[in-house]
């Protein structure tokens, strides 16, 4: 059967049943590569996913997500070939950005109905949780040798196969649990103060439900 954008073809009843997602990423390759690989595992009959790698961070990234969300809504008003996004997610890290920028980005996103898959400190925390429970705050670059040890090759930040590699040799269900445990220990009113913590698993859970449909 024909395929669109690498996703598996699957019949569906009406156009309105299909969900449309926008994932706006801070990174231009790391996160987009990961979510593009995940996207290929999902049936296009149930979900459409647009993925944007912006190179922007925190508040700037959230502003882009809000802008794209509104632009799509306007297109949908003018043409039946477009439909608004059902879900918009912003994916970004704390890194060394000021605490106030990180926190305000999260709160601004939520107030504009944009969901947030954040990581404090770096997206690589989500990768590492596939192998171990890690509750010590470290910098982005300190994750690299840890991941290198687990994946059996030098970790490359922009690798295109990390999703598939983690699915093969890691444990996503365990990563979900450990990410949830970390989040349960974090300060939700001050996410910048909670290193390590992440909400990336919430986005993964949201998308994984289409595998079961």
What pLDDT is attached to residue 126? Answer: 98
Q: Tell me which residues of the chain have a pLDDT lower than 70.
A: 1-16, 213
Between CA 155 and CA 172 the distance in angstroms is: 18
What pLDDT is attached to residue 12? Answer: 35
Q: Determine contact, residues 121/147, Cβ cutoff 8 Å.
A: no
- Domain locations in the chain as residue ranges: 19-212
What pLDDT is attached to residue 6? Answer: 45
What pLDDT is attached to residue 105? Answer: 98
Instruction: State pTM to two decimals.
Output: 0.90
Tens digits of residue pLDDT in 74-84 = 999 999 889 99
Residue 129 dihedral angles phi and psi, to the nearest 5°: -65, -15
**SS3 state of residue 177:** helix
What pLDDT is attached to residue 5? Answer: 41
Bond from prior residue into 64 cis (ω within 30 degrees of 0): no
- Could you give the angle at the alpha carbon of 207 between the alpha carbons of 41 and 188, nearest 5°? 145
Nearest to 85 by CA among 61, 111, 112: 112
């Amino acid at each position: 059967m024909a395929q669109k954008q690498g996703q598996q073809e699957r019949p569906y009843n009406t156009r309105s049943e299909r969900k449309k997602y926008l994932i706006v990423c801070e990174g231009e390759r790391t996160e987009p590569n990961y979510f593009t690989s995940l996207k290929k595992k999902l049936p296009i009959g149930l979900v459409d996913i647009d993925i944007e790698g912006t190179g922007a961070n925190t508040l700037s990234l959230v502003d882009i997500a809000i802008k794209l969300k509104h632009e799509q809504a306007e297109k949908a008003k003018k043409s039946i070939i477009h439909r608004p996004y059902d879900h918009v997610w912003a994916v970004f890290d704390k890194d060394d950005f000021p605490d106030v920028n990180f926190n305000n980005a999260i709160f601004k996103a939520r107030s504009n109905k944009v969901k947030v898959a954040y990581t404090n400190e770096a997206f690589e925390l989500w990768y590492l949780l596939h192998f171990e429970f890690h509750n010590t705050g470290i910098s982005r670059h300190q994750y690299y040798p840890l991941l290198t040890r687990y994946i059996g090759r030098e970790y490359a930040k922009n690798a295109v196969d990390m999703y598939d590699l983690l699915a093969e040799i890691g444990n996503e269900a365990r990563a979900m649990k450990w990410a949830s445990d970390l989040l349960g220990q974090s300060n939700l009113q001050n996410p910048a103060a909670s290193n390590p913590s992440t909400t990336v698993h919430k986005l993964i859970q949201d998308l994984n439900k289409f595998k079961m449909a």
